[in-house]
Amino acid sequence: MELQKLIEKAETTHKLTKEELTLLLSSSEAEEHLAAAADRVRKKYVGDAVHLRGLIEFSSYCRRNCMYCGLRRDNEKAGRYRLSPDEIKALAEKAVGYGYHTVVLQSGEDMWYTTERLVPIIRFIKNLGAAVTLSIGERTREEYAELKKAGADRFLLRIETTDRALYEKLDPGMSYDERCRCLHDLKELGYEVGTGCLIGLPGQTVEALAEDILFFQEIDADMVGIGPLIPNPDTPLGDEPTGDMGITRRMVSLIRLLLPEANIPATTAMETLIPHKGREIILKSGANVVMPNVTEGEAREKYALYPGKACVSDTPAYCRTCMETRINAIGRFIGSDAGARKHRR
């Protein structure tokens, strides 16, 4: 009874305390009720459209050494590649041809791709009529400002955990304060800001996950991506257990309840854990975005954050058709615009 009252409170007020969030996150009994409430809130605030973003993974080089990531600097087994600006532009043209209204440019923290090299690419994509999302890691405020001036609309920068000690342990050489500085700068510069966290990091507590949700609410995140840890054997966390799908799903539902207008993706990691239906489960638990991969050739396989990544062997054209079929099958439809966050009036 107490759980149901908390879910009703979340659905109507969009507010919960850390203790209340912790209780709901800890309860597998609450999961289906949470998902149903989140789905109702999703329908009320963002509708039945599922927005597709065409993802271009343009470089697997990274200066960082995050202990959970297959692209980490010290992973000598990682397949390194860097697409040229012309290759990125060609993929962006194809993405728009497939009907994507947003192109996501994602890479490791590859500093070869300076602001000067990125600006013409952003302008090119904007001229195609698409929104541009960047996911390229930490840069200076000045660099973020230049990229925004060039036309970038959104920026994805996952915090991964708001537990400061855990963050700095798993991201050696990085600063939690610097990560937060980046997120605040991006928000102040007018980007739609996306962030998110990993579920199942060693040492992570349910209380810390509750703090993550409150952090997303505090910064008024425009997009929040949640995914389970899928251990990569070529990283220091290779022997850790996979992140719990139930907790992941409860996180997604609670984020929808507390940030009702946010864009929430059904991430590839969900599909990797539950092939052929992982995305549907999350779309019916509060999510409203899918980011199909439009990268082609060897690069599509080499961007190996974790093993067994879903859809790697599919062509971008097949992915587009497949996703529309699956989305229609659950009574939803593909959004016909870029899917900017809608704010309550």
Annotated binding site for (3R)-3-methyl-D-ornithine: 135
Residues at the annotated binding site for S-adenosyl-L-methionine?
Answer: 160, 179
Residues at the annotated binding site?
Answer: 62, 66, 69, 135, 160, 179
Q: What letter represents residue 123's amino acid?
A: R
| Residue that the structure tokens 């239906």 belong to | 277
Task: Could you list the beta-strand ranges (E) of the chain.
Answer: 49-52, 54-59, 102-107, 131-135, 154-156, 192-199, 223-228, 289-290, 333-334
Coil/strand/helix, residue 180: helix
User: Using CB atoms within 10 A of its CB, is residue 68 exposed (0-12), middle (13-18) or buried (19+)?
Assistant: buried
Write the CA distances from 71 to 141, 145, 156, 270, 303, integer angstroms: 25, 27, 17, 20, 7
Residues 250-280 as b or e (16 or more Cβ within 10 Å = b): bbbbbbbbbbbbbbbbbbbbbbbbeeeebbb
Coil/strand/helix, residue 17: coil
Of the candidates 281, 153, 160, 285, which has an alpha carbon nearest to the alpha carbon of residue 222?
153
Written as six digits, the tokens of 227 are 């995914």
User: CB neighbours of 133 closer than 8 A, spacing ≥ 6?
Assistant: 53, 102, 103, 104, 105, 152, 153, 154, 155, 156, 194
Distance between CA atoms of residues 117 and 113, nearest Å: 6
Residues at the annotated binding site for [4Fe-4S] cluster?
Answer: 62, 66, 69
